């Protein structure tokens, strides 16, 4: 379905009205964007995949632990988890089957930054980005140099490609290895949506063959459709975390295995200081998960922190960055529905917000931000646009097993 510019504007208005209404509900992240509180308490915010690691990090922070160390405690959880295929060990690999990780961090109290991109064979790249701060005069190391630096710092080399991720990659090679990232991207004037022609009718057969091949590869039946979804719509899972202590010190970090099946050497937003993460001790901290290429173009995390410096609330600051992404596509919903972005925003006074371009990936899985400020919880983000995103790349007539219930696709 195509959406006209006028349609977009009314959608955007409806979305902001919806956001305003949701803001009155207790379960919504937007209620925490009110004026600065006088008293400070420690608080950690992160992408929802950090939820399980918040208790440990919060008690560390409360007992006087450093804010960056606390944030890294959170993101290290998914980095170490072989079943989280968006980060660290077990991350989905590049198109050659090699896992390449990106991370960056900023330490507010000492106003320093570290970053690593395209790192192979080292699991805890958030810690490596911190080592860049502590043991070099540089800010960013990439590729082989970053790996060698990590080894010199005592990080073990290990194979990051788990059997589970290897099988998903093999499935991708079999069915999609010529379709993905080499063509003109969504932002290109040359980008063409595939026609809903005879090719699309082959989907049922294609899906059947993918399931068959997944079974041959030994992918468990209960994970098969999820694995196929990852093949058809390569994800960009990531984790960001920002932490603030009682003294008002603030830090942030972001880590990822990046876009699945990417070209070797592709770095998304996560290792880019100012895009995937930005912290300013005078103002606050912000980080991102989602479409890395889109976020780099609006320098999302830096934009948000600067917006707060100029007086915007965390929610307003995040929404403004999202609007810049919409502006980069002139509000073209046909393209915007194929991308998504979530920002995690923490102001120096403890006010926070989670904002996203769309409500979620499906009506049943809204985007969430996880918070610990003495009480651990997850809250829905406030979305700029109403509805759910459709993952990239676009295909006509997606079978119902793979499709999402986007109202824009009805
Ligand atoms: N946001 C993660 C990536 O695009 O790599």
Percentage helix, strand, coil for the chain under 3-state DSSP, each rounded to 5: 40, 20, 40
Q: Do 139 and 164 meet the contact criterion of CB atoms below 8 Å apart?
A: no
Q: Do 256 and 285 meet the contact criterion of CB atoms below 8 Å apart?
A: no
Q: How confident is the model at residue 391 (pLDDT cuts 50, 70, 90)?
A: low
Predicted local distance difference test score (pLDDT) of residue 101: 98
Distance 270 CA to ligand 1 centre (A): 6
Distance 3 CA to ligand 1 centre (A): 27
Strands 382-383 and 352-356: parallel
Lowest-confidence region among 67-76, 92-101, 233-242, 385-394:
385-394
Q: How confident is the model at residue 178 (pLDDT cuts 50, 70, 90)?
A: low
Q: Is the CB of 281 under 6 A from ligand 1?
A: no
Q: What is the mean pLDDT of residues 345-374?
A: 94
Distance of CA 95 to the CA centre of its chain: 20
Distance 76 CA to ligand 1 centre (A): 17
Q: Is the CB of 289 under 6 A from ligand 1?
A: yes
| pLDDT greater than 80 at residue 13 | no
Rounded Cα–Cα distance for residues 307 and 204 (Å): 48
Q: What are the structural domain ranges in the chain?
A: 1-410
| pLDDT greater than 50 at residue 348 | yes
Instruction: Please give the number of the atom of ligand 1 that sits closest to the Cα of 291.
Output: 4
| pLDDT greater than 70 at residue 33 | no
Instruction: Please give the number of the atom of ligand 1 that sits closest to the Cα of 102.
Output: 5
Q: Which tens digits make up the pLDDT trace of 103-136?
A: 999 999 999 999 999 999 999 999 999 999 999 9
| pLDDT greater than 80 at residue 17 | no
| pLDDT greater than 50 at residue 371 | yes
Rounded Cα–Cα distance for residues 170 and 176 (Å): 10
Q: Is the CB of 313 under 6 A from ligand 1?
A: no
Write down the catalytic residue from 238, 256, 279, 342: 238
More confident call, 188 vs 383 = 383
Q: How confident is the model at residue 410 (pLDDT cuts 50, 70, 90)?
A: very low
| pLDDT greater than 80 at residue 398 | no
Instruction: Please give the number of the atom of ligand 1 that sits closest to the Cα of 289.
Output: 1
Predicted local distance difference test score (pLDDT) of residue 196: 53
Q: How confident is the model at residue 392 (pLDDT cuts 50, 70, 90)?
A: low
Query: Is 238 tagged catalytic?
Result: yes
Question: What is the DSSP-derived secondary structure letter of residue 50?
Answer: G
| pLDDT greater than 90 at residue 147 | yes
Q: Do 256 and 268 meet the contact criterion of CB atoms below 8 Å apart?
A: yes
Q: How confident is the model at residue 7 (pLDDT cuts 50, 70, 90)?
A: very low
Q: Is the CB of 342 under 6 A from ligand 1?
A: no
């Amino acid at each position: 379905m195509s959406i006209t510019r006028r349609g977009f504007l009314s959608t955007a208005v409806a979305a902001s009205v919806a956001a305003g209404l949701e803001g009155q509900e207790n379960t919504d992240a937007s209620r925490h964007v009110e004026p600065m509180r006088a008293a400070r308490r420690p608080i950690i915010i992160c992408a929802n995949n950090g939820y399980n690691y918040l208790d440990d990090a919060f008690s560390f922070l409360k007992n006087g632990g450093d804010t960056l160390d606390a944030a890294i405690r959170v993101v290290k959880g998914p980095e170490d988890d072989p079943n989280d295929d968006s980060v660290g060990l077990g991350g989905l690999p590049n198109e050659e089957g090699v896992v390449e990780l990106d991370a960056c961090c900023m330490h507010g109290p000492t106003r320093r930054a570290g970053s690593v991109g395209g790192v192979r064979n080292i699991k805890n790249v958030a810690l490596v980005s911190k080592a860049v701060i502590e043991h070099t005069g540089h800010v960013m190391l990439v590729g082989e140099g970053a790996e060698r630096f990590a080894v010199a710092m005592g990080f073990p080399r290990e194979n990051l490609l788990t059997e589970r991720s290897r099988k998903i990659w093999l499935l991708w090679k079999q069915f999609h290895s010529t379709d993905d990232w080499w063509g003109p991207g969504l932002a290109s004037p040359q980008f063409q949506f595939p026609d809903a022609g005879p090719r699309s009718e082959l989907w049922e057969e294609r899906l059947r063959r993918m399931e068959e091949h997944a079974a041959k590869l030994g992918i468990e039946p209960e994970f098969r459709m999820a694995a196929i979804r990852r093949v058809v719509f390569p994800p960009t899972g990531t984790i960001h975390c920002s932490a603030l202590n009682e003294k008002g010190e603030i830090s942030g970090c972001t880590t990822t295995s990046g876009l699945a099946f990417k070209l070797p050497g592709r770095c998304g937003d996560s290792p880019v200081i100012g895009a995937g993460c930005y912290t300013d001790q005078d103002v606050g901290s912000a980080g991102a998960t989602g479409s890395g290429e889109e976020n780099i173009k609006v320098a999302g995390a830096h934009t948000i922190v600067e917006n707060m410096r100029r007086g915007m609330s965390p929610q307003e600051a995040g929404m403004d960055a999202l609007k810049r992404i919409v502006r980069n596509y002139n509000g073209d919903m046909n393209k915007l529905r194929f991308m998504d972005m979530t920002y995690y925003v923490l102001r120096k006074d403890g006010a926070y917000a989670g904002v996203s371009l769309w409500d979620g990936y499906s009506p049943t899985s809204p985007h969430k931000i996880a918070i610990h400020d003495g009480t651990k919880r997850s809250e829905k983000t406030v979305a700029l646009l109403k509805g759910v995103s459709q993952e990239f790349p676009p295909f006509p007539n997606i079978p119902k097993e793979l499709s999402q219930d986007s109202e824009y696709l009805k």
